[in-house]
């Protein structure tokens, strides 16, 4: 069912965007569930074919399996998990396994870490330096306002390597970003915290000597 919402001429941009969200959200229904189920089935077929090719074992089959693996992971990340964990289908009575709290995401991430990083960090603070710790603001330099660091010289290669190793790298990246969003220090930072003035750090292991 479509909900029509009148927007007055003096409505602010934020309110207009909220109205657009509510209008679009009201249109989500069984057709959208059918679509996401079809995408799931298509992804499962791709993955099944990938496994068959790996069992074949020939160089040609392995290359084709790698391509299918990439397609499957892209679908899992962008079309399926990303949208579902956002809660796109949470309000639908027939949502079933596509509810964000029940969905089993076939991607090597901790869903709770993802929700902290993406929902609490990225979207409320999109492109805000120091608050948005998404990939472009923790590893890559994507805008002129960001400071230069030495590793940015090789960021294209770094990002390419991370994409190739995304299933393995994602848990570490997400855990670190979730820590930053939550304002928690890393174990190394905690170990190397500045001691009282009466002490001097001898080494970054928690061992101190009196000044």
Residue linked to tokens 């919402």: 5
Tokens of 175: 């855990």
The answer to whether residues 94 and 138 belong to one domain is no
Q: What is the chain's pLDDT, residue by residue, as a tens digit (211 residues)?
A: 334 444 445 568 889 989 998 998 888 899 999 999 999 999 999 999 999 999 998 999 999 999 999 899 889 988 898 889 988 899 898 889 999 999 998 888 888 888 888 888 888 877 777 777 776 656 677 777 777 888 888 888 877 777 667 667 777 777 777 777 777 665 434 333 344 444 433 333 333 333 3
Let me know if residue 185 belongs to a domain. Answer: yes
Let me know if residue 4 belongs to a domain. Answer: no
Q: Which of 46, 78, 98 is the last residue of a domain?
A: 98
pTM above 0.75, yes or no: no
Dihedral of alpha carbons 113, 136, 73, 87, sign = positive
How far apart are alpha carbons 94 and 102 in whole angstroms? 13
Let me know if residue 209 belongs to a domain. Answer: no
Q: What share of the chain is helix, strand, coil (3-state, %, to 5)?
A: 60, 5, 35
Q: Which of 98, 114, 148 is the last residue of a domain?
A: 98
Let me know if residue 145 belongs to a domain. Answer: yes
Let me know if residue 211 belongs to a domain. Answer: no
The answer to whether residues 30 and 83 belong to one domain is yes
Burial class of residue 30, CB neighbours in 10 A (0-12, 13-18, 19+) = exposed
Let me know if residue 111 belongs to a domain. Answer: no
Let me know if residue 90 belongs to a domain. Answer: yes
CA distances to 5, 176, 179, 204 from 191, rounded to whole Å, are 54, 16, 16, 7
The answer to whether residues 94 and 146 belong to one domain is no
Count of structural domains, the chain? 2
Domain carrying residue 173: 128-191
Let me know if residue 68 belongs to a domain. Answer: yes
Residue linked to tokens 């993802």: 114
Dihedral of alpha carbons 186, 188, 190, 196, sign = negative
The answer to whether residues 133 and 93 belong to one domain is no
């Amino acid at each position: 069912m479509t909900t029509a919402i009148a927007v007055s001429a003096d409505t602010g941009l934020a309110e207009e965007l909220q109205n657009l969200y509510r209008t679009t959200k009201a249109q989500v229904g069984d057709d959208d569930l059918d679509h996401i189920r079809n995408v799931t089935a298509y992804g499962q077929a791709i993955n099944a074919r990938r496994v068959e090719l790996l069992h074949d074992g020939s160089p040609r089959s392995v290359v084709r399996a790698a391509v299918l693996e990439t397609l499957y992971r892209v679908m899992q990340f962008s079309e399926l998990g990303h949208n579902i964990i956002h809660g796109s289908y949470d309000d639908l009575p027939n949502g079933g396994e596509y509810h964000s709290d029940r969905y089993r995401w076939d991607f090597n991430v901790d869903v709770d870490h993802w929700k902290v990083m993406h929902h609490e960090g990225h979207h409320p603070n999109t492109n805000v330096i120091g608050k948005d710790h998404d990939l472009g603001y923790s590893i890559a330099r994507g805008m002129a306002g960001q400071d230069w660091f030495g590793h940015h010289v090789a960021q294209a290669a770094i990002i390419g390597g991370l994409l190739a190793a995304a299933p393995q790298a994602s848990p570490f990246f997400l855990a670190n970003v979730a820590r930053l969003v939550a304002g928690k220090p890393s174990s190394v930072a905690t170990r190397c915290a500045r001691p009282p003035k009466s002490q001097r750090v001898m080494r970054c292991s928690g061992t101190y000597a009196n000044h």
